[in-house]
Structure 1
Amino acid sequence: MTTLESWPDSKRWQATLVACFFTLITTLTATGYPLCDEAITSAFDVSHTTFVLGNTMYLLAIALVPLVLAPLSEDFGRRPVYIATTLVYAVCFIPQALADNMATIIATRFFCGAAGSIGNSLAAGVISDCFAPAYRGLPLYVYSTSVYIGQGIGPVAYVATGTLQGWRIAFWWNGAAALVAFVAVVALFPETRPPAVLPPSEKRSKVARAATSTTVALTMLLTQPVIGSISLWSALLWGINYMAFGAIPLTFAQAYGWSLLQQSFVFLTMLVAALAGYVCHVHQEHIQASDPERIELRLRYACVGALLAPAGLFIFAWTARASITPVAPVIGVLLFNTAIFPIYQAIFSYLSEVYGDRSSSAVAAQSFLRNLFAAVLPLLNRHMYENLGSPLATTTLAALATVFSTVPFVIVRYGPVLRRKTIEK
């Protein structure tokens, strides 16, 4: 069996692209589902809050399960984890498509999210396995782009197919796409984790490690200030991001009378944001190359995004009204999405470089809090926007984003000191 050092670049990219494809599918599922609100609530005669529980369970599983799977994959290998979870993920769409009650969808989506959670937590670890720190920039950009493509096309794809063929068709084609991901993993995804690639004599004791693996990521979240602060900040922004999948349709319907399909097109701003993110990526790599030893330089564009994100929310809050062209609030959404992209990429790049062969656990730690917020905050959406009104509700979120925008600046300034204290501890 060959070692990772002898792999050609083509094999490294093969593993990366397969992992990113599954990430795209899992993200698409999370963002497409909220747009089925009216169809599914009508079919089963349930409330909006009950419907939202379907995505809450999906994202809650994505938050919790990597705390187990990410550390285990670091000792038992990525490939067996990917094979098992992609198969389960594809199968979980069958009961969703055939469901005759809302409880079936809610319960099944938890298991679907559990299996799909590796799309969030393990992909960055795969990239860390395959590429040295100096070469991780482009692969991590591809990973971040896969998330944004999934978020952008998910609402449009679900609404388009649901409008023409019914909401069950959306689950069927999503399951078919997941099955393609499973086949790709079996056929094309090599083992990338060094402990699994090395001869048995060089492996650590898996039995001893398995006893504590489930607590590694959570321990890192609670004891390491760098992970804790980044996780809380990204969790707030990610929660706001997922609130948008309910708030944007509600706001554009009330202000402009847009149809569901028209509303879904707003999310295509994420594709534009991903293109803008490439420009940020190229310049970020230039900045990092000027001083490779300063890992905190990875967060420079995250600092820019920290300022632009609340600005985009403020624009959306106070321009989404009938007397103002809808172009204005769309620009606000675009600005927010463009701001989130370099933040998302920078966090993965930074954690991958700081924590090296434990990057999956570090990413799982911040993914836990990030997806926990994404699971819970949308439950407040309808009540918040109906009671406060769209301008005040979004302004409240923008104010919170402004307060937390100091986090990347603090880490850029004090990150080296915090990392040294962590190592000493």
Structure 2
Amino acid sequence: MGILGTNKTEEEHLRSAAGVDESSGVRRQSSSSYTGSSAYETADEYDEQSMADEPQQRAAVSSEGIAPGAVTDSVVPTVSPSDDDNSTIQEPTVLRDTESAVNTVEDFEAPELDGEDALNRRYTIERIATHRSIDEDAEAELRHELTKNSTHKSDGPEAVEISSLQWDGPDDKENPQNWPQWRKWHVTFSVAAICLCVSLGSSLYVSGVPELEHHFKISQELAIVGLTLYLIGLAFGPVFAAPLSEMIGRQWIYIVSLPVSMLFTMGIGLAQNIETILILRFFCGLIASPAMAIAGGSISDIWSPDQIGFAMAMFCLAPFLGPILGPIIGNFAAEYKDWRWTMWVSLMFSGAALPFVLALPETYKPVLLAKRAEKRGIKLVKPEVNSEYVKKVLVFTMLKPMEMLFVEPIVLVFSIYIAFVFAVLFGFFEAFPIIFISVYRMDQGISGLPFIGVGFGLMLGVVFYIYLDKVYYFPKNADGTRGKRDENGNIIWDAPESRLFIGKVGAVCLPISLFWLGWTSRKSVHWIVPTLSGIFFGFGLILIFFTVILYFSMSFPPSSVASALAANNFLRYVLAAVFPLFTVQMYERLHIDWASSLFGFIALALVPVPFVFGIYGAKLRGSSKYGYAAFFKKLAADKAAAAAAAAQATPAPQANDTTSSSEKTAEDGEFAVEKDVSHKA
């Protein structure tokens, strides 16, 4: 069986049908990040010759994908290395592409690849050459689907598509990946701060629940609904994030969502009845969530694939640290002030981040290029937002993720897994007070400190992941490059199942932590012992999360990865919204030992998941409706359809046509060059 999950014969057939030349290859550049880590981009540095060729590829190919089956003229400058190893662009040549924009580079030489790597080359070559991430590629495909077969409005017949715009060159200072380091880190820490503030708002509220019950004379279940509605808002908000960022970019989503969510937080703090609190909590989560949904895209906008790994790993920590910091800080605020101060603390965190957020620059490439094109007087084609456009948005952002959740075993099982673990974390907001207040007689403020153990475990998990990434998955070679190589120096590509090792370690840690917590939480055992169980829980949680993200990104093409992650995000927050509603009753009826053990037994039943997918994952991917095998079958069908359409549209040669073939080719080439120059932005 091949890496794709299909047999070798079928992979050979798909390679041939998709037009993949076995004699050519791609030296891929990637990172450890889930955003930049596609299925088969597993080396995060080019070798010396690849680096010399990189400017050629970036100058040659548009960074926005063109749909398979489209017929385009692509201008590929030839490159000759100079004495100082820098590449100089010579006179361009013209390639006629009848498949997709990813097929425009045919002369990129590299070690010979086989199986899925050869199949994937045709799809990933343009993205790797231009440093495009999975987020950018998925958004490009979404933009194409939204504008395909739609009416357009423009200023005249000379208007051009945004996807045809390109940076002036590899050193273009307006390209976010060429920004100075301080500016990149400003963006990184600012968007991480937004995610921290939004996730912090979920758990801070829980600290004020006891006083809410007393103040408004309500049940504990009704008070907890404020957390449930906030998480439901976080689940549904990202549905609107992708199409919204397509139209207005990322900058305005940050600038608008954070201040508006702060106003809703202020309204909660000033509310005089529980009905107002619950309604405002839902809208607070709904409005704040789009910023979280696009934050990963902002990171991939500014960091090149060989730099993004560390930045993304640190960034992924923020949404998990938020719920951990909530009880640690909020319990003291609720004890020494009142429940309203949990909202004021949330406002303080958001207010501290607000100046940096307001100073965030736009990083989304199509928006930046469109603005520059308009300044240069280039007219752009703009899609008309009508009912058909809205329908496509709903299909891409809602229906496809839900379909993948039910028809793709990989998406369904791993989404349930991480959703359960995430929900247990939110269940701890109710379980920890029962354990550390009822059993160990801690004050409310002190009872939040055991969450430090979970936070420490999260940080250990990130360190462990980065270590594996640098030492095992992308080891440094003697020549300074990274990535596994054979005895001939050729890169060795890992199958997606190789990343399941991280999940196997995390899967074993989770039930250990839950049984540990349940059977050591008693007066005869020092409080530090159940607190230390949180280290194993945080460690296992972050490793399972990394595994899900990596395995999804390596098992599906980018647009399907986006839908799979959207489905995962939706289920994760919905399940987390439900767990706190019954956690207290469960711990009261089953007691601490068996209630924690019930979670432990579920976690124990889920331990085989990464091991089972390690055995059967390739077969499941091979039969997947949205996997790479299905993608290449579609690519082959599109190629055949485009070739048939081109054959029908080609007029028969006229007898009086005395123009030679070479003259005709030269004329076509001149026209293509002129057209490319006129569309350059």
- The alignment's TM-score, normalised by the length of structure 1, stands at 0.90
1:288 aligns with 2:473: yes
Tell whether the 8 Å contact from 2:204 to 2:343 is kept in structure 1 after alignment.
Answer: no
Distance apart, 1:336 and its partner CA: 0.9
Whole-angstrom distance in 1 between the partners of 2:394 and 2:434? 40
Deviations 1:256-293 (A, max 9, x none): 22221221001111331233123212222122214564
Distance apart, 1:240 and its partner CA: 0.9
Corresponding position of 2:296? 124
Give the aligned CA root-mean-square deviation in angstroms: 2.6
1:216 aligns with 2:392: no
Counterparts of 1:140-151 in structure 2, within 5 Å, are: 140-151=312-323
Counterparts of 1:137-286 in structure 2, within 5 Å, are: 137-188=309-360, 190-199=361-370, 205=383, 207=385, 210-218=390-398, 219-223=400-404, 224-286=408-470
Distance 1:228 1:193, change over 3 A: farther
Question: What letter is aligned with 2:403?
Answer: L
Q: Report which stretch shifted further, 293-302 or 100-109.
A: 293-302
Distance apart, 1:393 and its partner CA: 1.3
Tell whether the 8 Å contact from 2:454 to 2:537 is kept in structure 1 after alignment.
Answer: no
Corresponding position of 1:409? 611
Whole-angstrom distance in 1 between the partners of 2:497 and 2:256? 36
Deviations 1:277-325 (A, max 9, x none): 2321222212221456444434422221111011100111111111222
1:328 aligns with 2:534: no
Distance 1:210 1:314, change over 3 A: same
Tell whether the 8 Å contact from 2:457 to 2:534 is kept in structure 1 after alignment.
Answer: no
Tell whether the 8 Å contact from 2:331 to 2:446 is kept in structure 1 after alignment.
Answer: no
Whole-angstrom distance in 1 between the partners of 2:243 and 2:615? 30
Question: What letter is aligned with 2:516?
Answer: I
Counterparts of 1:30-179 in structure 2, within 5 Å, are: 30-74=202-246, 76-179=248-351
SS at match of 2:524: coil
Distance apart, 1:125 and its partner CA: 2.7
Q: Report which stretch shifted further, 296-305 or 105-114.
A: 296-305
Distance 1:64 1:163, change over 3 A: same
Distance 1:214 1:8, change over 3 A: farther
Tell whether the 8 Å contact from 2:506 to 2:541 is kept in structure 1 after alignment.
Answer: yes
Tell whether the 8 Å contact from 1:302 to 1:346 is kept in structure 2 after alignment.
Answer: yes
Tell whether the 8 Å contact from 1:67 to 1:365 is kept in structure 2 after alignment.
Answer: no
SS at match of 2:525: coil
Question: What letter is aligned with 1:23?
Answer: C
Distance apart, 1:249 and its partner CA: 0.8
Distance 1:119 1:340, change over 3 A: farther
Provide structure 1 residue ranges, at least 5 long, that are not aligned to the other structure.
Answer: none
Whole-angstrom distance in 2 between the partners of 1:344 and 1:250? 27
Tell whether the 8 Å contact from 1:95 to 1:108 is kept in structure 2 after alignment.
Answer: yes
Distance apart, 1:235 and its partner CA: 0.6
Whole-angstrom distance in 2 between the partners of 1:288 and 1:236? 28
Distance 1:75 1:292, change over 3 A: farther
Tell whether the 8 Å contact from 1:222 to 1:228 is kept in structure 2 after alignment.
Answer: no
Corresponding position of 2:581? 379
Distance apart, 1:382 and its partner CA: 1.6
Corresponding position of 1:340? 541
Deviations 1:188-230 (A, max 9, x none): 2x32333333337788847365532234244134324333222
Whole-angstrom distance in 1 between the partners of 2:604 and 2:612? 14
Tell whether the 8 Å contact from 2:209 to 2:339 is kept in structure 1 after alignment.
Answer: no
Distance apart, 1:177 and its partner CA: 2.3
Whole-angstrom distance in 2 between the partners of 1:369 and 1:172? 30
1:297 aligns with 2:498: yes
Corresponding position of 1:311? 512
Distance 1:413 1:376, change over 3 A: same
Corresponding position of 1:19? 191
Distance 1:222 1:311, change over 3 A: farther
Tell whether the 8 Å contact from 2:265 to 2:347 is kept in structure 1 after alignment.
Answer: yes
SS at match of 2:272: coil
Whole-angstrom distance in 2 between the partners of 1:35 and 1:314? 25
Whole-angstrom distance in 2 between the partners of 1:292 and 1:131? 23
SS at match of 2:193: helix
Whole-angstrom distance in 2 between the partners of 1:131 and 1:172? 35
Deviations 1:123-159 (A, max 9, x none): 2232333345554321222122212332232112112
Distance 1:220 1:170, change over 3 A: closer
Question: What letter is aligned with 2:290?
Answer: I
Tell whether the 8 Å contact from 1:61 to 1:114 is kept in structure 2 after alignment.
Answer: yes
- The alignment's TM-score, normalised by the length of structure 2, stands at 0.58
SS at match of 2:449: helix
Instruction: Give the number of equivalent residue pairs.
Output: 424
Q: Report which stretch shifted further, 9-18 or 312-321.
A: 9-18
> Among the aligned pairs, what percent are the same residue?
27
Whole-angstrom distance in 1 between the partners of 2:381 and 2:615? 38
Tell whether the 8 Å contact from 2:514 to 2:597 is kept in structure 1 after alignment.
Answer: yes
Corresponding position of 2:87? none
Picking from 555, 567, 576, the partner of 1:365 is 567
Whole-angstrom distance in 2 between the partners of 1:84 and 1:375? 25
Distance 1:70 1:298, change over 3 A: farther
Q: Report which stretch shifted further, 220-229 or 49-58.
A: 220-229
Whole-angstrom distance in 2 between the partners of 1:5 and 1:314? 47
Provide structure 2 residue ranges, at least 5 long, that are not aligned to the other structure.
Answer: 1-166, 168-173, 374-378, 475-483, 485-491, 632-681
Distance 1:52 1:298, change over 3 A: same
Distance apart, 1:351 and its partner CA: 4.2
- Give 1 or 2: higher helix fraction: 1
Deviations 1:86-136 (A, max 9, x none): 121111111111111111111111011112213542222323333455543
